[in-house]
Amino acid sequence: MKKGILILLLLSLLAGCSNKKSEATTSYRIAVITMMQGGEFWGSLKNGARSARSSTGAVLEFLAPVNESDYEGQISAVQRAIDQRFDAIVLSPSHYSRLEDVVAKARSAGIKVVLADTALRNQTADFLITTDYRQIGKAMAEHAFTHFSEGEPINALVIGSMPNTTSMTNLVESLVQTFSERTNARIVSATYSFTNETIAREITRNALESDPSINLVFALEEYTAHGVANALGDSSDIHFIAFGTTQFEIQLLEKGVIDALVVVNSFNLGYRSVMAAIDLLNGNKPAQKLVDFDLVTKESMFSEEHQRLLFQTFQ
Amino acid sequence: MRKPDHPHSIKTILTFAIAFVSLSVTLLISAILYSQFSSTIRENATVSTREIVRQVNANLNYYTNDILTIAGYARDLAKQTNELSRTEIEKRLSSIVDSRQDIVCLLLFDLEGNVLLSTTDAPRREATEIAKQTWFTRALGGEGNFYFTGPHVQQLFTSSYPWVITYSQQISYTNEEGELSQGLLLIDMNFRTVSELSQSAKLGATGYVYFIDNNGKIVYHPYQQLINSDLFNEDLDSAQEYIFGTFTNTFEGRQRLVIIDTVNNARWRIVGVAFMDELMAGLDQYTTIMLIVLGFCIVITIVLARMVSAYISRPIRELDRLMNSVERGDFSAPPTVGGNQEVAALSQTFAVMVKRIRQLMDDIVTSQEMKRKFELDALQAKINPHFLYNTLDSVVWMAEQNDTEGVIRMITALAKLFRISISKGRDIITLAEELEHVRNYLIIQQIRYQDKFEFSITLEEGMENLPTIKLIIQPIVENAIYHGIKYLQEMGHIDIKVFRRKPGAVVIEVRDNGVGMDEQKLATILSFDGQHPKGAGIGVRNVHQRIQLYYGSDYGLELSSELDVGTLVRLVIPEQSPIQPIKVVQS
């Protein structure tokens, strides 16, 4: 009896000390697949991912096609991640249906898939980290309305980047919805630049030529915004609301060409996606929380809060 | 654990006593060592962490002093505008700025925000815009007043947004009229130096150093971007609460060692955060090793305790076994046991005791034998007085009648009788001698009772020299005469027959045709309880007791009787090896 207790005590002591050695540093391999290689937005997302890496010890590999429109390239990037047996994939699908198969394939291969920013049409991933694009659309539209007096006709041109992404469709739908609720406000055209500055510039020029009544432009992505800015020129009385945090856009904001910049905290997006992937790999449930965004105007751009959001690449 | 009435074995008690004491001591020592070691580690960790933070602070101090030196140099130059051209001054300042990677630019403004001196010719913002920025307004308030900002986006030049730390100071300069006037000196630094300083401080695996200003706001934090995104929380409240010094607290489930020091020149404070679990990682390793050693010690202790207790208790068990065998009556085993001194002494004492017991038992056997002998002697002696008196009475009577022949026969028979009775003091005589004894007795009695009975004695061939205790037949015969034949009207018969009975018994049968006994009397005699009326049966009982005393309870008397028919008495004794008869009798 007493001996049994002694042995039990001994075992529990030994067990106690072996227990301490848990939570070893994970060296999970995670593929981060963005829509394209360049761009401020994706750069910041990658920075966030890197920050998550340095705090967890995970191994990251960034895979992306050169152009956002190259969803085939993105599919082959996911395939590469499957072939190389990554533990998890963080993916921003540039096509909401074409990537579904390869994502399903990755998941059936036991790879955790976290979608960042954009989702798939039929939710087939393990987790989704995104921002509230509908809320952004509403906020953009409502901010635009503040530049017009009550009843003044608003004719808006909306240029998105990739037509088949959930972010763009949500944004456009939300803009259309918000516009429909205001009298005399209409969206003349909603079209896509395929993240091509030149196409965006041409779309803007053609639209302005064919419909001179256009007095508001929404550019839903930074390259698109550059194209629109080129088309509008320095002095224009057309109101312009754009996505992005490029230096060019910030200059335009200061100059007054851009009325407001929509900034999605893509650093946060990248960090939380990688963290969510590691959580899933560890069998934990990631936190369900939307990524923050903000609407920055010339007046607020140097406020402490917006400085840090707007000038993200400061380190 | 056990019922109190169940005694524990010495082995168990010893095992637990040894194990308990050893384990207590081991555990106590371990606990003391552990607490000592852990406090030492904690102390060392605190000291080294404090040292690192102090070092970072010292480096930052060098850096700010450097900046102050440059500012001092610029201040001197600003007073020499009447001696040196603006271009020359700017050239000198530029050479300093260019020589340092961390300084972005150095400018001198008048109090309206207009640039007086500049190390760069990038397009600038409006003076009004500049004059309302924090670094500008905070440095105003008297000559020499200075201010260090936290990281912020530089807003001096159009289309350029670097992150900088600004040092600003209100100074006096010589204006174009050659008079001293108040201006504002600005040195913008990229904060690589600060971030490098912060990141060079390795406090454990994930500890870090950050800076806060005197309002408790973060100036620089290595996880600034995470903090911006609400992905990381910093415990600014307690940093603000403690202001200065070293403390530990728990924040978001982790125990932190926080060291706060003030930064010279900058009105900042440096905060070092180290995580206790990382600092104490060495302790974990130590704990593991110690627990393994402790476990090993415990096992060894238990094994040793068992061995020692077994060593001590084995001789006791041995002794116990010996005592048990003695208890069962086996005195042959030498009761000596090896082992420790006490048990050996005990065993020796026990040996002496056993020896003494053996001696006593031998004594008892001897005394018992003697006692039996005395009893026999007494019984034998009992026969004689009655008979002798009666016989001599008969002899007297015959002598009175002048029956000389009768007297001779009688005395001769009596002489033989006594010879055999005495038989050189031996208890055992041959059957022939015994029968001879009875014959002489019967002869005497025949004379006494004037041929009132006849007798016959039959001894089987070859049984003459078989041994028997002496004088066992005579009392039976005496009984037959006194209680059977004496009352008979017709001639009495006494027949004595000696024969063998299997297995190994000799039967001496005495049959008479006397009055016999009823069953009740027979039962009384047979019960041999000694409480019956005096006379009848005493002799018979004596014989029975003597046979049983000598040969054991398997032997003795068998009686059967019937009224008016007679009595049959069988004396049963064991058949033993023949012995030599006594010579005296033979003659």
Q: Which among B193, B218, B252 is the end of a domain?
A: B193
Examine residue B185 and state whether it is found in any structural domain, yes or no. Answer: yes
Closest approach of A208 to chain B, Cα-based (Å): 28
- pLDDT at A258 exceeding the cut of 90: yes
- pLDDT at B516 exceeding the cut of 50: yes
> Which CATH number characterizes residue B370's domain?
3.30.565.10
Low-confidence winner among A81-90, A228-237, B47-56, B518-527 (lowest mean pLDDT): B518-527
Examine residue B22 and state whether it is found in any structural domain, yes or no. Answer: no
Tell me the C-alpha to C-alpha distance, in Å, between residue A178 and each of A136, A144, A195, B41: 11, 11, 24, 63
Same domain for B151 and B188?
yes
Structure token pair of residue B223: 């996880």
Closest residue on chain B to A5 (Cα): B1
Q: Which residues of B touch A271 (CB under 8 A)?
A: 226, 229, 231
Using a CB–CB cutoff of 8 Å, tell me whether B82 touches chain A: no
Mutation choice for A interface testing from B161, B292, B299 by most A CBs within 10 A = B161
Same domain for B145 and B173?
yes
Closest residue on chain A to B297 (Cα): A10
Higher pLDDT, A308 or A261: A261
Could you tell me the residue range of the domain that residue B156 belongs to?
A: 79-193
**Residue range A159-206, pLDDT digits in tens:** 999 999 999 999 999 999 999 999 889 999 999 999 999 999 999 999
Distance of CA B570 to the CA centre of its chain: 70
Task: Write down the pLDDT at residue B376.
Answer: 66
A148, A154 contact by CB (below 8 A): yes
Using a CB–CB cutoff of 8 Å, tell me whether B158 touches chain A: yes
What DSSP assignment string belongs to B97-162?
HHH-SSEEEEEEEETTS-EEEES--SPB--HHHHHTSHHHHHH-SSTT-EEE--SEE--SBTT---
Note the ipTM here: 0.78
Structure token pair of residue A151: 């009843």
Model confidence at A134, pLDDT cuts 50, 70, 90, reads: very high
Query: In chain A, what percentage of residues exceed pLDDT 90?
Result: 64
- pLDDT at B417 exceeding the cut of 70: yes
Examine residue B570 and state whether it is found in any structural domain, yes or no. Answer: yes
Q: Which residues does residue A218 pair with via DSSP β-bridges, in sequence order?
A: A158, A241
Question: Cβ–Cβ contacts within 10 Å for residue A249, how many?
Answer: 24
Query: In chain B, what percentage of residues exceed pLDDT 90?
Result: 8
**Residue range B182-219, pLDDT digits in tens:** 999 999 988 777 788 888 887 877 888 888 888 888 88
Q: What is the mean pLDDT of residues B440-465?
A: 87
Same domain for B336 and B437?
no
Examine residue B524 and state whether it is found in any structural domain, yes or no. Answer: yes
Q: What is the mean pLDDT of residues B485-493?
A: 86
Query: In chain A, what percentage of residues exceed pLDDT 70?
Result: 90
Examine residue B16 and state whether it is found in any structural domain, yes or no. Answer: no
Using a CB–CB cutoff of 8 Å, tell me whether A13 touches chain B: yes
Task: Write down the pLDDT at residue B5.
Answer: 61
Model confidence at B129, pLDDT cuts 50, 70, 90, reads: confident
Number of compact structural domains in chain B:
3
Model confidence at B532, pLDDT cuts 50, 70, 90, reads: very low
Same domain for B443 and B580?
yes
Task: Write down the pLDDT at residue B533.
Answer: 47
Among B381, B394, B499, CA closest to B448: B394
Tell me the C-alpha to C-alpha distance, in Å, between residue A1 and each of B12, B21, B252, B307, B313: 12, 18, 43, 19, 21
Q: Which residues does residue A61 pair with via DSSP β-bridges, in sequence order?
A: A31
How many residues are listed for chain A in this entry?
A: 315
Examine residue B160 and state whether it is found in any structural domain, yes or no. Answer: yes
| B143-170 per-residue burial string, b: 16 or more CB within 10 A, e: under 16 | eeebbbbbbbbbbbeeebbebbbbbbbb
Model confidence at B148, pLDDT cuts 50, 70, 90, reads: confident
Among A45-59, A104-118, A235-249, B357-371, which range has the highest average pLDDT? A104-118
Q: What is the mean pLDDT of residues B400-416?
A: 87
Higher pLDDT, B77 or B242: B77
**Residue range A78-113, pLDDT digits in tens:** 999 999 999 999 999 999 999 999 999 999 999 999
For residue B472, what is the DSSP state? S
Higher pLDDT, B587 or B561: B561
Model confidence at B534, pLDDT cuts 50, 70, 90, reads: very low
Domains and CATH numbers, chain A: 29-131+266-284 (3.40.50.2300), 133-264 (3.40.50.2300)
B265, B61 contact by CB (below 8 A): yes
Model confidence at B374, pLDDT cuts 50, 70, 90, reads: low
Same domain for B404 and B379?
yes
Task: Write down the pLDDT at residue B418.
Answer: 80
**Residue range A5-62, pLDDT digits in tens:** 445 554 554 544 444 434 444 589 999 999 998 888 999 999 999 988 887 888 999 9
Q: Whole-angstrom Cα distance, residue B573 to residue B499?
A: 11
Mutation choice for B interface testing from A47, A129, A299, A308 by most B CBs within 10 A = A308
Same domain for B471 and B403?
yes
Same domain for B402 and B500?
yes
For residue A298, what is the DSSP state? T
Examine residue B420 and state whether it is found in any structural domain, yes or no. Answer: yes
Mutation choice for A interface testing from B225, B278, B292, B299 by most A CBs within 10 A = B225
A244 Rama sector, left if φ>0, alpha if ψ -120 to 50, beta otherwise = left
Q: Which among B193, B224, B252 is the end of a domain?
A: B193
E strands, A75-232, in order: 88-91, 112-116, 127-129, 154-160, 185-192, 216-219
Task: Write down the pLDDT at residue A124.
Answer: 74
Task: Write down the pLDDT at residue B526.
Answer: 66
- pLDDT at A235 exceeding the cut of 80: no
Task: Write down the pLDDT at residue A16.
Answer: 47
B165, B189 contact by CB (below 8 A): yes
Q: Which residues of A touch B222 (CB under 8 A)?
A: none
Alpha helices (H) along B216-280: 224-228, 236-242, 276-279
Q: Which residue has the tokens 């016999």?
A: B516
- Among the partner residues A3, A10, A267, nearest to B225 by beta-carbon distance: A267
- pLDDT at B283 exceeding the cut of 90: no
Angle at B213 between CA B208 and CA B217, to 5 degrees: 80
Q: Which among B158, B193, B228 is the end of a domain?
A: B193
Using a CB–CB cutoff of 8 Å, tell me whether A170 touches chain B: no
Q: What is the mean pLDDT of residues A243-262?
A: 91
**Residue range B153-191, pLDDT digits in tens:** 888 888 788 888 899 999 988 888 888 889 999 999 887
Same domain for B327 and B440?
no
